[in-house]
Amino acid sequence: MTAVVHADRPSRDAIVATARETIAAGSKSFAAASRLFDRRTRERAWLLYAWARACDDLADGQELGHGMTAVADAPERLAEITAKTNAALAGEWVGDPAFDALRIVAAEARLPPALVHDVIAGFALDAEEWRPRSEDDLYRYCYHVAGAIGCLMAVVMGVDPADQDTLDRACDLGIAFQLSNIARDLAEDAAAGRCYLPVAWLVEIDAPPGEHMKPHLRPRIAMLARRLADQAERYEASAREGTPALPFRAAWAVLAAADIYGGIGRAVRARGEHAWDHRVTTSKPQKIAAIARAFAAAQGRAKRYPRTPRDPELWTRPRHG
């Protein structure tokens, strides 16, 4: 059967170009790491990022990850995300570049729909103004908004969806990234009426949710931020052990991203109560140094990161299939 060409619809190349612009503007860290992939994987990573970024922006009333505001129509936004995502997974032309990006990468990489729906479940939690009560709740949230993305990225890199052990390691990296994100964005989240610190943790330091970022509580909150950064490093270390299962360039990109993004959590920890005076970022020289370190690490990854049983104390994601 001859494919139908619609002259009024953007081509794959055009959607890829838009996705590339999105990641360049939305995350310099991920953009830098993505350049290390081979062309096919790189383009698919951009496409997946464009969809995830658009969903996050729509859910949070922001643009390219900045300017988050409280939204009054969260259920309607979630419904839009869900409908467009389902259309993309069904192979339908959506008419929105970010969701058509998902349509393309889902078909090309054969992304498991269950993992895509797990990501949507994270936006549903935010729409319900859900807050973690326990540490287990925190990791469950991190899985939905980042760990599942890690699993999808692994599939984009060529990991068999049935290779649950490698997907677990990819999930660990996503969780590590999100824990660092939460630590960095505590003040920004509080300004938007959100708090992702477990209630149980706040009770420990006698910090009421909603008031936890007041100046006199900063030293105590810094202790919790340090706990987040420490946990992020545990998940990051676990993720590194999954890189021998990846092709060299994919392992290089993953290790670079781990180093670059892991640096955010480490910087938050080092700054203590001043971590939120200015937004923590990584400089261009720091990114270049991380990429160089990752190159050497990827070359010797089989010996450097011997595959050992995953730490049983780490939170374990739900498995599909």
What gap in Å lies between CA 9 and CA 52, rounded to an integer? 22
Phi then psi for residue 218, to 5 deg, are -55, -45
Contact 179, 231 (CB under 8 A): yes
Instruction: Please state, in angstroms and rounded to a whole number, the distance separating the CA atoms of residues 60 and 133.
Output: 21
How many whole angstroms separate alpha carbon 216 and alpha carbon 92?
Answer: 53
Non-local CB neighbours of 179 within 8 Å, separated by 6+ positions = 142, 228, 229, 231, 232, 235, 265
- Each of the 321 residues of the chain gets a pLDDT tens digit; together they read 344 445 578 899 999 999 999 999 888 888 888 899 999 999 999 999 999 999 988 887 756 544 556 666 778 889 999 999 999 999 999 999 999 999 999 999 999 999 999 999 998 888 887 899 999 999 999 999 999 999 999 999 999 999 999 999 999 999 999 999 999 999 988 988 889 999 999 999 999 888 999 999 999 999 999 999 999 999 999 999 999 999 999 999 999 999 998 999 999 999 999 999 999 988 889 999 999 999 999 999 999 998 899 999 999 999 876
Q: How many CB atoms sit inside 10 A of residue 211's CB?
A: 12
Taking the domains of the chain in order of start, what are their residue ranges? 12-304
pLDDT at 321: 61
Q: What is the pLDDT of residue 71?
A: 64
Name the class of domain 12-304: mainly alpha
Model pLDDT, residue 72 = 66
Provide the pLDDT for residue 127: 80
**CA–CA separation, 302 vs 243, rounded Å?**
8
Per-position DSSP letters for 70-118, written without gaps between them = --S-HHHHHHHHHHHHHHHHTT---SSHHHHHHHHHHHHHT--HHHHHH
Supply the pLDDT for residue 4: 45
| Cα angle value 39/41/42 (rounded, 5°) | 60
